[in-house]
Structure 1
Amino acid sequence: MIIPIIGNVIFPITLDPTVWIFDDRKIKIEEAFSNSTKLPDTNDELEKASQRWERAINPPVNQGISRVEGEEILKHSYVMPIEDFIRNAEIKLDAINATLVIGENVQDNITISLEDLENCYLQFAMNGKPLKDDGPVYFYYHDGSNKDNPIKNVKKIIVN
């Protein structure tokens, strides 16, 4: 259930989507595409960056979630923007594109632009549960153009 980001990056990283259900950056799937044409509010982005910095400097005490919060989480499907993870991997300047590895056969893999990779969403939960059968994640373009037909079975991301 892990997804390595490897290839033409300075820091190869491994994503574990099973823990994203508790990540504050997750987005309900219905909200992810409802405002995909809306330009980001710089004050809102600055506030989010400030909150992430605060959490990095002063990590929250691992407090449990209430039963009500837990039940609420299990009602929704979620996506994770992976921009922060890609930034941490630091794509090399000579990188051209990325390959989504979705099967054993090379011809099954899908090549996307680096811009699409940096701005994508990865769905990791449906109704609060991990995507075990055809996961570990589904790939969605930021604009929602494939929201009815996501790229499924993404197992690895290779930056070329």
Structure 2
Amino acid sequence: MIVPITGKVSYSITLDPTVWIFDDRKILLNEAFSKKVEETEEMDDLEKISERFNREVLETKMNRPPVNKSISKLEGEEILKNSYVMPLHDFITNAEIKADAKNATFITDSEEDVTVTLPELEDGYFLFSLNGKPLREDGPVHYFYKNGSNKDNPVKNIKKIVIN
């Protein structure tokens, strides 16, 4: 259930979609392809930076350890019902793709691997939870273009990403 990112990267990264259900960056599948999400992503980034600064500076001054936000019972029940995607931008940025790289290839269990451009990869989404459950049969992740053009036919059975 892991997806390594290898190839022309400074840092090979292993993605573990099973823990993304607790990640604040996840987006509801039915909201992922709306313009509203793009606007809120920009605000969310600014808010996250602000919160991190406040937590590190203010809580350190007060000698309090940082506290993770806990999930309420209602939020936990919603998580177990909904389908979620994860934006790939942060993971691709952390891998530090080398300057001579041109594309990314999804290595799949099917006969054909799928190649996308680096901007398409960075702007895309991985579906990792369908109706609150991990994608065991045709997963661990499905790839969607940010514009939703393959919403009805995502790339499935992705086992590895090779930057080439």
Q: TM-score, normalised by structure 2?
A: 0.84
Distance 1:98 1:43 in 2: 28
Give, in angstroms, the shift of residue 117 of structure 1.
Answer: 0.6
* Alignment counterpart, residue 130 of structure 1, candidates 123, 127, 134: 134
| Partner SS for 1:76 | coil
Distance 2:52 2:95 in 1: 17
Distance 1:97 1:42 in 2: 26
Match of 2:161 in 1: 157
Q: Is the 8 A contact 2:142 2:154 kept in 1?
A: yes
Match of 1:71 in 2: 77
Q: Is the 8 A contact 2:31 2:37 kept in 1?
A: no
1:67-146 equivalences in 2 (<5 Å):
67-103=73-109, 105=111, 108-146=112-150
Unaligned residue ranges in structure 1 (runs of 5+)? none
Give, in angstroms, the shift of residue 33 of structure 1.
Answer: 0.7
Larger radius of gyration: 2
Unaligned residue ranges in structure 2 (runs of 5+)? 60-64
Task: Count residues with an aligned counterpart.
Answer: 158
Match of 1:19 in 2: 19
Question: Quick check: which one's helix share is greater?
Answer: 2
Identity of aligned residues (%): 58
| Partner SS for 2:35 | coil
| Partner SS for 2:147 | coil
1:38-57 equivalences in 2 (<5 Å):
43-51=43-51
Give, in angstroms, the shift of residue 47 of structure 1.
Answer: 2.4
Q: Is the 8 A contact 1:36 1:143 kept in 2?
A: no
Q: Which moved more, 1:42-51 or 1:126-135?
A: 42-51
